[in-house]
Amino acid sequence: MTNTERLSTSPALGTTLLEAILLLTLLGVLTAASIRGGALLRDRWAVVAARDALASVVREARGVAVGRGGATVTLATTPPEVVLTSSGEALRRIDLAREWGVALDLGGSMTRADLHFDAAGVGRMAARTVRVTLGGAEAVLVVSAYGRVRR
């Protein structure tokens, strides 16, 4: 058998242009799907982290109120932040937009809400439902009238 005969009878090892185009198209579709799914997952993680930080400030406020004779948690939507104060002193401030890029919804057209805690650590008319949003993701935090946090 000559070299020419061997080359002509061996199976093709390359790919056709059509196969290459189909492969690139499939890779493009899969990449687009994973980017969209990744963005949704990132947004979900951000709203959950922001909600948990918000919940920790409310819980901290109850303890601070007992130790210092009262405390207030201020929630603001523009810019989205939470501030813990006691005796006129800001003890903790979290800029939710800078930390996680989220927005707060306090219900209706409210742009600010104050949650007051007395010296016993009990909320006074603190009932509030707070929605933390980013893109299509949302996490809800419910504060009872007495200041207990539920998710």
Ordered structural domains, the chain, with CATH: 14-150 (3.55.40.10)
Q: What are phi and psi of 59, to 5 degrees?
A: -65, -40
Give the pair of three-digit tokens for residue 151.
């998710």
Which amino acid type is present at position 148?
A: R
Residue with tokens 């930390």: 99
- pLDDT score for 117: 96
Enclosing H/E stretch for 73: strand 71-77
- Which of 83, 107, 78 lies closest to 93 in space, CA to CA? 83
Amino acid 32: pLDDT: 74
The per-residue pLDDT for 13 is 64
Res 30: pLDDT: 78
Dist CA 94 CA 108 (whole Å): 23
CA distances from 13 to 1, 54, 93 (A): 21, 60, 64
**Considering only CA atoms, which of 10, 98, 84 is closest in space to residue 54?**
84
Strand segments (E) across the chain: 71-77, 80-86, 89-95, 103-105, 112-117, 123-124, 128-134, 137-143, 149-150
pLDDT along the chain (151 residues), means of 10: 55 75 86 73 94 96 95 95 96 96 92 95 90 94 91 72
- Biggest CA pair distance of the chain: 100
b/e 104-125 (16+ beta carbons within 10 angstroms → b): bebeeeeeebebbbeeebbbee
